[in-house]
Amino acid sequence: MKKPLVWVFLLVIIAVGGYLGYRVWWNAFFFTVERTDVNPAPDPLDDLKLVDDLLEDKNPEFDPQMVDRRDYEGWQINKSAAVIRLDCPDIRPDREEEMTELYASYADAAEAASKPWINFLPSANMLDGVAKQFDDGLYAALDLACFDGNPACLPAPGSAVSFIQAVFEQLPPSSPAVPFLAAALQLAGKPVDVNVDQQAEVDDWVSRFEADASQSKPISFYTWSEDLTRVWKFFRFLQHPFVQTDLRIPIDIALAMESNEERKQFYADLIDFYSQLTNPPESLNLIQLTTDGPNLQRLMEIHGVEQEEVCVFPPSTSRETELFNRMFADGSPGQMNLMVELIRRIRSDEVDLRPRKGSGWYDHQVYALETLLLPGRGAENQKLLLTAKYKRRLIQAFQALITKRRETHARQLAVGDATSAAPPKKITPRLRIEPCATCYLRTARSYAFLESFLTAAVDGDALSQIHGLREGGQRNSDLQSELAAIKELFYGFYLVSCEDIGMDPEITDQEAVDQQAAYAAAEKWLSNLNHPDLAVDTRVSVPILNDPVTNSTRLWATIGIRLCKLDAEYARAPMMRENGQSEWQEVEDHRLGDANYVIAVDEFAEFILRGRQVLTRGELRDLCDRHKTKSAIVQALSN
């Protein structure tokens, strides 16, 4: 018994010794390297082939009067001829875990970035997040006012529901328009009596509408209350398109409307109101419909609308829907990325975002985003040297911000005293917000357009009597005050951004802006980022294309807020002087330093749902909460 045990013991010793010897040999000649891949995953934006700006293309002129009003350790700084380089370095997931998270709100992201070693900078996305809450509240309040006439002043005495009720009462009893309008009133919570056969038709209209979730399912802020849900369903139902072979219903409604001049004027005012609040209609309205042998193709050409159809309340057009209607008139987009296609065509000038004659607020809002795709068109272009990675970041901002603007319109479619001191040791860019100056200016002008339109459209001081809405109630300020404040704030953001990069503001005398007050408003806002609107969940989705070939719906979404690095340094040095009597001198290279910021940005996604489906904000947010990363969220959305 002992000999076998001895042999077993010897074999174990030999095996252990052999293994240890092998490890010694391996470590002597080989080693293992752990490497974290920091290259961004390929995405459709790669096809845009972005390149770094060249310094020789930037030649801003020196203006000796343009002095930064902030103190630089007792010295004055003039950045009029300086150029700031902006870059977005790659993220190291192994060292910067907080940069890979997706957050529900800007407040959450800012809290994650509140580390002593992080220099947090408000991004263009974050500033737009404040505007988004105001926009939603304003649109919700005005849409509800037009729906129920309370207060009875938008856009004229009466309401959309009472208008439809009055037209319904004027219809011949046998008209096919009777069950159609009865269905609309039922969806509005104002059912009317019809005979048994007509009730069956009413039920059929309602059931077919409800079966098409892409039309009937309330999204955006329309889930905030039952009243807003009725607003969505009523107006969306009356956007039903009637084509050349199916005109009996709209003709009967048009005839009944024309029997009363006051009623007809209310309808015209309502169409004009939404043409400016969102954009002009893409289809013919009842006034444009001739009731004697109408030819829709001819009428479409006369009135300059995009679609050969007529609606009671036509939906508004937009550049993106016009583009996609042209692109996919004869087929499915397949796997084409619609957002990238839109971006490509804006960058190539095939799609011009400049507001056209008759453009509404939405066109002005989207035009504000143009320089995110074409930074060369911004007045700040000569002041900023952008790397390809930062240009990608701006394009990602465009993706998110146009999605949020569109979601608001989903239903219808802002020097110290000189003293003798030693020069500061380092001169670095001192940004207070992401330097997207033209975007802020055009946003302010979009609010100026909205203010001018509403002041002309609304009787008396009605705006001062209405409060914007938020989920769960009303916003604190009345619409008149809040609209003036948000306009002033974005003018202020523009002025702050101009000063940060050393650019002369281009506010015209016609704009009548109190620049000191606007600057002060922006400084006050930036001094404390603890704003309630920044704590609102930002995740939203909006349908962009229904594809009958594949029986699917394409959607755009923002699925969370993430942190992004932003580095700034002078590519061309600013000028410096000790006081107002000293000569300006260029800052020497050894005194120049870089500034490293973290900004909060939206994560965008485009995805496809089977059938004619949409997602409410709640449904999207529940899914995002269950799947924490973009890849997991997109995969879950696509299943």
Confidence grade of residue 196 (pLDDT, cut at 50, 70, 90): confident
Is 207 a member of any domain? Answer: yes
Percent of the chain at pLDDT above 70? Answer: 88
Position 416 pLDDT exceeds 50: no
Question: Do residues 489 and 518 make contact, with C-beta atoms less than 8 angstroms apart?
Answer: yes
> 181 versus 214: which is more confidently predicted?
181
Is 244 a member of any domain? Answer: yes
Q: Give the mean pLDDT of 375-404.
A: 89
> 497 versus 552: which is more confidently predicted?
497
Q: How high is the pLDDT of residue 114?
A: 83
Q: Phi/psi at 613 (nearest 5 deg)?
A: -115, 155
Is 577 a member of any domain? Answer: no
> 149 versus 623: which is more confidently predicted?
623
Residue 309 belongs to what domain range?
A: 155-278+281-315
Q: How high is the pLDDT of residue 425?
A: 60
Q: How high is the pLDDT of residue 94?
A: 63
Structure-block tokens of residue 606 = 């485009």
Q: Give the mean pLDDT of 17-40.
A: 49
Is 214 a member of any domain? Answer: yes
Rounded to whole angstroms, the maximal C-alpha distance in the chain is: 118
Confidence grade of residue 496 (pLDDT, cut at 50, 70, 90): very high
How many structural domains are present in the chain? Answer: 1
Q: Give the mean pLDDT of 73-77.
A: 80
Question: Residue 620's closest CA among 561, 563, 543, 557?
Answer: 557
Write the pLDDT tens digit of every residue in 437-491.
999 999 999 999 999 998 888 765 788 888 899 888 889 888 889 999 999 999 9
| DSSP states of 195-219 | -HHHHHHHHHHHHHHHH-HHHHS--
Position 29 pLDDT exceeds 50: no
Is 238 a member of any domain? Answer: yes
Could you tell me the end-to-end alpha-carbon distance of the chain, in angstroms, rounded to an integer?
65
Q: How high is the pLDDT of residue 38?
A: 43
Q: How high is the pLDDT of residue 165?
A: 92
Q: How many CB atoms lie within 10 A of CB 342?
A: 23
Q: How high is the pLDDT of residue 422?
A: 52
Q: How high is the pLDDT of residue 505?
A: 92
Is 429 a member of any domain? Answer: no
Position 597 pLDDT exceeds 80: yes
Is 240 a member of any domain? Answer: yes
Q: How high is the pLDDT of residue 458?
A: 79
Position 68 pLDDT exceeds 80: yes
> Does pTM top 0.85 for this prediction?
no
Q: How high is the pLDDT of residue 14?
A: 62
Q: How high is the pLDDT of residue 180?
A: 94
Is 174 a member of any domain? Answer: yes
E strand or H helix at 44, and its extent? none
Q: Give the mean pLDDT of 516-528.
A: 93
Question: Do residues 501 and 380 make contact, with C-beta atoms less than 8 angstroms apart?
Answer: yes
**What's the CA gap between 306 and 301, in Å, rounded?**
9
Question: Residue 238's closest CA among 181, 172, 155, 305?
Answer: 181
Q: How high is the pLDDT of residue 207?
A: 92
Position 8 pLDDT exceeds 70: no
